[in-house]
Amino acid sequence: MGHFKSLSISGNFGYEAPRHALECMCPACHPSPTPPAPAPALPNRPTLQPVLAISGSRYLTLSHYPVMAGLIAIISPASIWTGCANGADSIATLAANRIGIPVRKFYASGPLPAQLAARSNAFIRATAKVPRAALLSFPNTPAPANLRPNLKSWQPCGSGSWSGIALALGLGIRVAIVTTHGPPPSLGAWRKLQPCIFVSQPAQLEF
């Protein structure tokens, strides 16, 4: 089965994506970067997903644009929420703008690690308040083996992406991750959709 070739959205989303939006171009599957192209416009798509929050490494490059834009087009949210950093945040903003989806950005009060963590903490907690919201994250390092879903507070672990995933899981947010490093068992059960895509279980995300 080719990457994304048989993926579709059903259940809460109720939308089947055009096949040309589904080709995975992540660096693990296609090492040569591909210049970003506009994602297919979906003017009549149903908007059943209110918010898709997107996070990930600030070291992500434009080689991740096609897979991120393809997933945004499939999920078809009413709004994209993301941070203010380079990498995943900037690519999410670019993809959403090209597809025509409004973007809400969460800004840090400064560049210090504590200020960035406070921004990410507020970003995840705001997402948790939106019914049926989901988090799509692009971590680029392995998760700490002992990382666990965390409800009460931000859990520093050396990776803001994985700390955000742990907090999102603890708050009951549906989570999908795109990474060559699979989630650790300590983060619960996951469904592997493709070599690089994992969805938290239970998640009510039908790909």
| Cis bond before residue 202 (omega within 30° of 0) | yes
- What's the CA gap between 79 and 137, in Å, rounded? 16
Domain ranges within the chain, ordered by starting residue: 19-30+46-200
For the chain, give the DSSP string: --TTTT---BTTS-----GGG-----TTT--S-----PPPP-TT----EEEEEEEE-TT--GGGHHHHHHHHHHH-EEEEEE-SSTTHHHHHHHHHHHHT--EEE---SSSSHHHHHHHHHHHHHHHHTSTT-EEEEE--SPPPTT----SSS----S-HHHHHHHHHHHTT-EEEEE-SSPPPGGG--EEEEETTEEEESS---B-
What percentage of the chain reaches a pLDDT higher than 90? 48
Residue 91 vs residue 37, higher pLDDT: 91
Q: What pLDDT, in 10s, does the model give residues 124-153?
A: 999 999 999 999 999 999 988 788 887 777
- Identify the pLDDT of residue 103: 96
Q: Evaluate if residue 95 carries a pLDDT over 50.
A: yes
> Does the domain formed by 19-30+46-200 have CATH 3.40.50?
yes
- Identify the pLDDT of residue 178: 94
Q: Evaluate if residue 49 carries a pLDDT over 50.
A: yes
> Taking a C-beta distance cutoff of 8 angstroms, is the pair 179, 159 a contact?
no
Q: What pLDDT, in 10s, does the model give residues 10-22?
A: 333 333 333 333 3
